[in-house]
Amino acid sequence: KTAKIGNNVRIGHFVSIHSGVVIGDNAIVEDGSRIYDNCTIGANSIIGPNAVLRPFTRIGHHTIFGTLSCCEGHSSIGNFTWYGKIRKT
């Protein structure tokens, strides 16, 4: 099973994306992140550097999943949510 990556997705260096992953349009996956089997990342979401999404995790759209954050498998984080360490610039 292959991953499905939407339009205008930005994937950083040393990112690991496993089978069955779906990444929505305009999402960003920062350097060093690991996205395990069958995870879903919603459109316009950001996965911070070195974050880990365990199998069957669902990240909603317009969500920021912070630097070094980890989400155990079979979990769901809603839409328009900030999770973990977020650096505002």
pLDDT tens digits, one per residue of 58-70: 999 999 999 999 9
CATH code (residue 53) = 2.160.10.10
Decide if 21 is inside a domain.
yes
Decide if 80 is inside a domain.
no
Please count the structural domains in the chain: 1
Rg (CA), the chain: 11
Decide if 64 is inside a domain.
yes
pLDDT in tens, 2-31: 999 999 999 999 999 999 999 999 999 999
As given in the structure block, the two tokens for residue 36 are 């395990």
Domain interval for residue 66: 4-73
Inform me whether the pLDDT recorded for 51 exceeds 90: yes
Decide if 15 is inside a domain.
yes
* Cβ neighbour number for residue 54 with a 10 Å cutoff: 16
Decide if 47 is inside a domain.
yes
pLDDT-derived band at 1 (thresholds 50, 70, 90) equals confident
Decide if 81 is inside a domain.
no
pLDDT of residue 89: 60
* Cβ neighbour number for residue 84 with a 10 Å cutoff: 15
Decide if 14 is inside a domain.
yes
pLDDT of residue 85: 75
Core vs surface per residue 61-80: b (16+ CB within 10 A) or e: bbbbbbbebebeeeeebeee
Q: What is the rounded CA–CA span in Å between residue 89 and residue 86?
A: 10
Inform me whether the pLDDT recorded for 56 exceeds 70: yes
